Amino acid sequence: MDERPLLIGKLEAQFRQLSTLLYDTSIDPRIVDAEIAPLLDENVRFTDPWQQEKGRGKYRLGLAGFHAMFRFTLDITQASVQLAADGASGRAMVDGIMNLQPLGQLFTYPLRTILVYEFAVSPGADGAPQIRIHAHEEMWSIADMIAVLPMTGRVYRRLFRPAFARGFLAASWLSARARGVLPDWRSKPQ
């Protein structure tokens, strides 16, 4: 029997739990650190749209500071793990909404977030998969951040994005026409 699908299912559950620990600030940062630190490679690399840093100590400091400075939760919509052919390493992707709460419950800022973890995996003492995280990347859209800002967001959503789309489509039409690849909108797709 192929054990790989079972292993992938266990890893997906483990990365869901790990992501919840990392992105739910109602959990005591000391508990988060105790659970996460043993899973980190000495040279773990963290990347988000604003920063990139390397090293377990820096990762742990950033995690503690983030939990101390901000309030947020993560609603996970899906998790997926892909293993290398030898099953000794892989990538996990977790997709969800990070709910930033800069003013507590008064205001929640939903931010679509994709988390990517690169890891090594080996059997643990209890038979459960033991992971070692080498890289953790947090991706979110700057456009999403701008779109929900008071006043600026309205201008961005109602003026800038539609104007940019029209400009892009005009440039696309000119380029496609110049190269002779302009679609015929009158014909129906096959």
pTM: 0.81
187 inside domain: no
Do residues 96 and 17 share a domain? yes
- Residue range(s) defining the domain that contains residue 166: 142-182
Largest CA distance in the chain: 65
CB contact at 8 A, 154 and 129: no
pLDDT mean across residues, the chain: 89
Can you give the pLDDT at residue 89?
A: 96
pLDDT band, very low/low/confident/very high, at 190 (cuts 50, 70, 90): low
170 inside domain: yes
CA distance 135 to 95: 16
Count of the separate structural domains present in the chain: 2
65 inside domain: yes
190 inside domain: no
149 inside domain: yes
Summarize the confidence of residues 70-78 as an average pLDDT.
93
Q: Which is more confident, 18 or 148?
A: 18
Do residues 88 and 102 share a domain? yes
Can you give the pLDDT at residue 157?
A: 83
| Residue in the block written with tokens 């000391």 | 30
Do residues 12 and 50 share a domain? yes
Q: How many CB atoms lie within 10 A of CB 112?
A: 14
Do residues 146 and 123 share a domain? no
CATH of the domain at 136: 3.10.450.50
pLDDT tens per residue, range 96-132: 999 888 766 677 788 899 999 999 999 888 878 899 9
